[in-house]
Chains A and B, each alone.
Chain A
Amino acid sequence: MSKGFLIFAEDAKLKKYTRSAYALALSIKNHMPNADISLVTDNKIPEKYRLVFDQIVPVPWRDRNKTTTFFKTEDRWKLYHCSPYDETIVLDADMLAFSNLDIWWEYLKNYDVFLTSNVLDYRGKIVTGRYYRKTFDSNNLPNFYFGAAYFKKSDYAKEYFNWVEDISNNWELFYGRYVNVNYPKLPSMDVTASLAAKILNCENLVSHKNAPVTFTHMKPMIQNWESPTESWQDSIGAYFNKNCELKIGNYQQHGLFHYTEYSFLTDHIINQLEKITGIS
């Protein structure tokens, strides 16, 4: 059974996400040198990026005439079909890995599909703030995140992703019917993935609140601060050292770090990651 990480990055103009995906791949290689990582993109990428990705997979079934939203959420259902692996962990591009995640594979092999249900703040505490989750609470959706998700090529996963495909392609229709309170203005992969699980009534089959699969989510309103700022970087310092360790404020970061703000990913961080992994 092949297994690997899959990162989706599609922003042909700015190429922010391909740069982020490259940094994420470097950080994974730093802790798991033998990990297989593939990038799903239609962007042209610098030659050196190919050193960290096993495969560059084009986004399948592109319809150039069809307009999509900025985050290309409508295309993410395709990840199931284009993944080159039997077992896949899908990660958001704007993440960095600060630990070896091999234990995840051991845990996830028991599932066909897995979605993260608890995320952490920078102090390592489970996020309880609901600022960004009003849609979920209002419409009684399961509290899933697609930022770190898993699927195994299987009949069950295929059925689940067929529903994700249907919702993604008809998101206004589905959201209008099932997510009509605090209706999202744009399609959200978290909402779509949660809705698919709700329709299939498989919430308990695709997640577990005590799972080791989680990540630190840096959106500022869920950091349990009395006085949050619009950008978390305005509230607290980020310290990335030459050993590629990250401290946020007084807290050493471990696991997967979802920085959410592109300005966080400085050239210094990428240079250090390239140095430590021997890619430059």
Chain B
Amino acid sequence: MSKGVLIYALNNEQIDYAKLALNAARRVKKYLGVPVALVTDSADWLYKQYPNYKDDVDMVIKVVHQAEVSPWTSTWQYPVGSLAFYNGTVWRKVNEGPEIVDVVDVVDVVEKAEIEVVKETTYSFNQEDFDAVYEGIDVDKWYPNLPYLVGQHVWYENTLYRCAIQYTEGETFSKDKYISLIDKVQDGDIIEKIFKGNIVLFNRSLWMSKFDIKTEIITYKIEDFEPVYEGIDIDKWYPNLPYLVGQHVWYENTLYRCHTEYEEKEEFSIGQYDIILENVQDGDIIEEISKGDIILFNRTLWMSDIAGKRKKETVTNIQKTYKIEDNFTRVYEGIDIDKWYPKLPYLVGQHVWYENTLYRCHTEYEEQEEFSSDQYDIVLENVNELTQLTKFTKGDILFHERVLWMSLINYDIAQSSKDKIRYDLWEDTKERFLVYDSAPQYRQYFDGAMTHKKLRFKNDIRVKSFELSPFDETLVIDCDYLINNDILKYCWQQPHDFLIHKQAVDLSGYRYDPRLVTLSDKSIDFYWATVFFFRKNKNTEIFFNYLGHIQENWNYYRYIYQIEQGLYRNDFAFSIAIHVMNGYQNGTWAHDLPGKLYYTIDKDILLEHFDTEMKFLVEKEKYRGEYTIMKTKGINVHVMNKFSISRILNEELNV
């Protein structure tokens, strides 16, 4: 599982969020030691202003207004230097070459000799799967020639009856003597398939199924059977071969032992053999098997202890993706080569390809069933047929369409497909991009108690964190969240899918804002989207999808949750989504992040930040514009005054 930290840096008119994010990334690297991905709409600024950004950031995710990079496609011609979007990142073409080679052949590969049988097991009644119903009623299965009493409950052909008159049955069920009570009552002794809510009869009682129940299908391999007649190797009989005394031979479902050394002709000579065992079936072709059957497979006899059917053959369609003219050079030119086929005449000098070897015929000859190697001279060995190969290397000589070719490329179908970029031609820039336009919002940014500016506030992209994150397990932090310890490492060790802070501590010690406890007086609990952790799975994907829906329909949700501010805030949207994920009540869908969330507001000022120590000026209670000095050591702090962080970084960088 990949893990890392995602930091957003969306610059506005006056605040260099990229700088703040680089600082945050540096601290992540130092204290958490995990990769960092930076989401920014100012990538060019970042590259130009901070050329060493790669020291702190492992991936840059560009937010752009229009797609500047197209998705890579195999049918385009790309010059060196081109950029293309592929597999989640931007790639740069670094070498000349065709994007991908054409499909020249399609081969159906049949997986043979997979001797497996499939057995359908019967379900055994398990009381835990059922609820007892109609308790207190004993039900008898109907049997012929028995007396039945008035009121007796009788089950016959999936129906429950009550006997209406006292009666001794004959051979057949007398329906007119019974009142039908419940139909579709299955026999619990032989359940094959039953749906939730169906009723079955078992052990003289009626039961209702809690679940859908089906018989299981179990696949067995012949190797799982018991071998019989062990230690004896058995050959299938073939014509025109010599057979030795004592040799075991299988022919037409019978096992024989040869009693006379003998060279067979076209027909099986039964007089040369003793019958050992009859009804021995061919395991290579058997379609259906019964318990106790003996079969021949892999030169051994096996006895089946189950009944079942042969698993279907699987056909795999393999697409070959190379282009002959681009990737091969013709060798042994001017010679046409024929594949060898039996029962054909071959001429002197004719070139014939047979079992990966090239021959030249030296005697005019009409072939029989078998290849007559003495009629040919070997010209070249190890000549594979091109279309049968899934892998070959540069320099290999290959047979294809009556001609020999030498490969100019290394080829492996596992590495090559028309849907895959060529890694030898392209390099991953480790940069991603997202086309996104933030909704224009403005808010006041304070720089201490006495100064403020109204600037753009671009925060709504955070709802895309699931889509954007390159990690399976992601910690998302604000770029003004300054890490001074390793407590957040625990996120990647704990089992919960989503962690966030519900409560926070204002370092002033006196300020209390009820809107940081609930979204409004009557509304739901407040969660802080400053830092959160999520593990990618269906559960968190639903959460982020819903978050996007809230963001898109903000005015509706603002009204429903009685939020007084018009400004879209991630804290609010996250709080609403968590509330919904909890089923519109307080719950445990979101768990607490380790540690506490400490913060100073933007009316406070960060003065110094050395190593893990921070020095603040915190606005005094009731004395506007006056401050108290305060120091922290080793705690993570959300410093909302971004101007003051920026000033400290300028001093560090001598800007």
Contacts and interface: CB of A to CB of B under 8 A. Distances in A.
Partners in one complex: yes
Contacts of A226: 514, 521
B514 A251 contact: no
A125 interface: yes
A249 interface: yes
Nearest to A125: B586
Interface string B545-566: 0000000000000001110000
Contacts of A225: 521-522
Interface of A: 123-125, 223, 225-227, 235-236, 247, 249-252, 254
A250 B524 contact: yes
Contacts, number: 32
Contacts of B440: none
Contacts of A227: 521
Interface stretch (B107-115, B167-175, B577-585, B646-654): B577-585
Interface in B506-564: 514, 521-525, 560-562
A247 B514 contact: no
A252 B583 contact: yes
B522 A124 contact: no
Contacts of B579: 250
Given A250-B524, A251-B585, 13 more contacts: A123-B525, A123-B585, A124-B586, A125-B586, A226-B521, A227-B521, A249-B562, A250-B561, A250-B579, A250-B584, A252-B584, A252-B585, A254-B585
A162 B521 CA distance: 45
Nearest to A122: B522
5 contacts: A223-B522, A249-B522, A249-B523, A250-B523, A252-B585
Nearest to B517: A224
Which secondary structure characterizes the binding site on chain A?
Answer: loop
Contacts of B562: 249
B92 to A, nearest CB: 50
Contact of B522 (A236, A247, A254): A236
Q: What 8 pairs between A and B have smallest CB-CB spacing? A: A252-B584, A124-B586, A226-B521, A236-B522, A250-B524, A252-B585, A249-B522, A225-B521
A146 to B, nearest CB: 26
Nearest to A248: B522
A13 B579 CA distance: 44
Most buried by B among A123, A125, A250: A250
Nearest to B514: A226
Interface in B233-266: none
Contacts of B560: 250
B521 A251 contact: no
Contacts of B583: 252
A132 B346 CA distance: 111
A129 B560 CA distance: 26
Nearest to B524: A250
Nearest to A228: B521
Nearest to A232: B522
Contact of A235 (B514, B522, B586): B522
A122 to B, nearest CB: 9
B244 to A, nearest CB: 80
Nearest to A252: B584
A227 to B, nearest CB: 6
Nearest to B584: A252
A262 B560 CA distance: 26
A192 B583 CA distance: 38
A236 B560 CA distance: 11
Contacts of B525: 123
A223 B523 CA distance: 11
A223 B522 CA distance: 9
Interface in B471-526: 514, 521-525
Contacts of A124: 585-586
Contact of B584 (A223, A236, A247): A247
A116 B292 CA distance: 69
A223 B518 CA distance: 13
Most buried by A among B522, B561, B579, B583: B522
B577 to A, nearest CB: 12
A123 B561 CA distance: 13
Nearest to B576: A250
Nearest to B580: A250
A78 to B, nearest CB: 37
Nearest to B583: A252
B507 to A, nearest CB: 24
Contacts of A252: 583-585
A247 B579 CA distance: 13
Contacts of A236: 522
Nearest to A224: B518
A136 to B, nearest CB: 26
Contacts of A223: 522
B586 A123 contact: yes
A1 B301 CA distance: 68
A14 B122 CA distance: 65
Contacts of A249: 522-523, 562
